[in-house]
Amino acid sequence: MHKNFKNIEKVVYGRGSFDTMGSILAEKRGGGFFVFLVDNYFKDSELIGRIPASNEDVMRFIDVDPNEPTTEQIDHLRDDILASRGLPSGVVGIGGGSIMDIAKAVSLMFTNEGSSTLYQGLNLVKKPGIYHLGVPTISGTGAEVSMTAVLTGPEKKLGLKCDWTVFNQVILDPELIASVPRDKWFYTGMDTYIHCVESENGALNNAFSHAYAEQAMKLCREVYLGDDAGQTPENDDKLMVASLMGGLSLTYSEVGVCHALSYGLSKILDEKHCYANCLAFQHLEDYYPEGVREFQTMLEKHSIELPQGLSKNWSKETITAMAKVAYNLPHMWRHAVGEDWQEKVTLEDIEALFRRM
């Protein structure tokens, strides 16, 4: 019942803190080399010149669109680097939630034999991974702080989840998120907002998770609804902290109905996590009336239009398949609806929620 969670070992925060990476890594190098995994978006940016890489280091640019990270991608990256260069001193991920998950997963797979598909689940990883440092460049998922690295495999979309997944070091530099396009800024930021709404509204909410959620929600409201709402340096400072705190809140509580539906959308229709959450959340007024109302205000304030009537183009089989994925996340329903959730929510009820979309 009582969760015992590992937090990030070290965190540096602030504008320009990216440039502390050189001194941080110097202590960890130990005569070896580092692997830098960087979102392709930054390939031709000035940021590359600021990465403290030496000639021996490996730099890989990764395209994270349109697919979420796969087990095959992780295995291939690991095998390739081990075969050509051997075991690195550490892995550095620079990018969004996708790159955070890739860096965390590769770090573990450098020391755990076989395919990453063997380790999808809770505490299946056998040995600690190598040193890993994360630098988020878009805020909201909380992947920078979570103990899971979500991977899509041939059979399941499931995280490598254990204490060793958590980053050894995170660098939170709000300057890096300034270039995020407005729509992605909105969808990914809303992941944090939804984490808080779901964490707060359920059986597992407690003073610890509540403290993080309350603060993260306050920051989200300033960023998305305040008089100075929008992508300003001050708001970027806040959103980066909100993302971290939203992630911590759900770590000590749980997500709920929106994330259950979102998993269905991602698994069956390949929708990306944050966008899928937004598609689902707008129709969850029965479960989260205040949260959905506030979310609608945020949509209007930023002129974000979510598609309506999508389900008209979904077959009955598609809707049932998505509902089954959602139904098979009992921990989320138990938190959101109660121990007796199966008496209150049927597969047909979940199908009806998808039909609202």
- When asked if residue 68 is in the footprint of ligand NAD (CB under 6 A), the reply is yes
- When asked if residue 116 is in the footprint of ligand NAD (CB under 6 A), the reply is no
- When asked if residue 99 is in the footprint of ligand NAD (CB under 6 A), the reply is yes
Q: 131 forms bridges with which residues in the sheet?
A: 90
- When asked if residue 141 is in the footprint of ligand NAD (CB under 6 A), the reply is yes
The residue range among 144-152, 153-161, 183-191, 303-311 that interacts with Zn ion, by the rule CB under 5 A, is 183-191
The residue range among 5-13, 151-159, 185-193, 197-205 that interacts with Zn ion, by the rule CB under 5 A, is 185-193
Question: DSSP letters along 76-124, please?
Answer: HHHHHHHHHH---SEEEEEESHHHHHHHHHHHHHTTS-S-GGGG-EES-
Work out the number of other CB atoms within 10 angstroms of the CB of residue 346. Answer: 12
Closer to ligand NAD by CB, 267 or 273: give it. 273
The residue range among 48-56, 65-73, 111-119, 197-205 that interacts with ligand NAD, by the rule CB under 6 A, is 65-73
CA 161 → CA 93, 125, 244, 272, 352, distances in Å? 18, 8, 18, 20, 32
- 323 with 265: CB under 8 angstroms? no
| Residue among 111, 115, 179, 215 that touches ligand NAD (CB under 6 A) | 179
309 Cβ neighbours under 8 A, 6+ residues apart: none
- When asked if residue 96 is in the footprint of ligand NAD (CB under 6 A), the reply is yes
Closer to ligand NAD by CB, 277 or 351: give it. 277
148 Cβ neighbours under 8 A, 6+ residues apart: 101, 159, 160, 161, 165
Nearest residue relative to Zn ion (C-beta): 191
The residue range among 134-142, 215-223, 292-300, 301-309 that interacts with ligand NAD, by the rule CB under 6 A, is 134-142
Nearest Cα to 324, choosing from 250, 265, 284, 280?
A: 265
Cβ 70 to Zn ion, closest distance in Å? 19
- 125 with 108: CB under 8 angstroms? yes
| Residue among 51, 138, 171, 292 that touches ligand NAD (CB under 6 A) | 138
Q: Is 170 strand, coil or helix?
A: strand
Query: How many Å apart are CA 140 and CA 243, to the nearest integer?
Result: 4
- Long-range contacts (CB closer than 8 Å, 24 or more residues apart) made by 59-63: 60/35, 60/36, 62/37, 62/38, 62/95, 62/98, 62/99, 62/102
Kindly identify the residues of this chain, within the stretch 191-210, that bind Zn ion according to CB under 5 A: 191
Nearest Cα to 186, choosing from 294, 307, 304?
A: 304
- When asked if residue 64 is in the footprint of ligand NAD (CB under 6 A), the reply is yes
Q: 92 forms bridges with which residues in the sheet?
A: 36, 133
| Residue among 39, 57, 198, 254 that touches ligand NAD (CB under 6 A) | 39
Closer to Zn ion by CB, 191 or 236: give it. 191
Give which of ligand NAD, Zn ion, none residue 73 binds (C-beta under 5 to 8 Å, depending on kind): none
- When asked if residue 174 is in the footprint of ligand NAD (CB under 6 A), the reply is no
List residues near Zn ion by CB under 5 A.
191
List residues near ligand NAD by CB under 6 A.
39, 41, 64-65, 68-69, 95-99, 101, 137-138, 141-143, 146, 148-150, 176-177, 179-180, 184, 188, 273-274
